[in-house]
Amino acid sequence: MRLGLPYMGSKRKIAGSIVSAILQRHPEMKNFYDLFGGGGAISFEMLKRKNITTHYNELNRHVFSLIKYLKENKTLEPK
């Protein structure tokens, strides 16, 4: 399942390739900072890899809250 918000400019379809390239260049990475997190595609992909602590940053607090909810609940379905 692909996580991240689908919108024009989203990196959901290429997130795997981006993260693989980052990890290939920095195999010792312990922390990843997604400074312009947007829909979270790169952060969610990074969370699937190794034991890397992922830090998501987004100026829009509503998008940030939605991404946090998705990370914690893995769904938009109400509990």
Residues 70 and 40: beta-carbon distance below 8 Å: yes
Distance CA 23, CA 6 (A): 24
pLDDT of res. 29: 94
pLDDT of res. 3: 62
Tens place of pLDDT per residue across the chain (79 aa): 566 666 666 788 899 999 999 999 999 999 999 998 888 899 989 988 878 999 999 999 998 888 888 878 877 776 6
The strand pair at 31-34 and 53-56 is best described as parallel
Residues 45 and 22: beta-carbon distance below 8 Å: no
Instruction: Give, in degrees to the nearest 5, the angle at Cα 64 between 62 and 66.
Output: 70
Q: How many residues does the chain have?
A: 79
Distance CA 69, CA 44 (A): 12
pLDDT of res. 16: 94
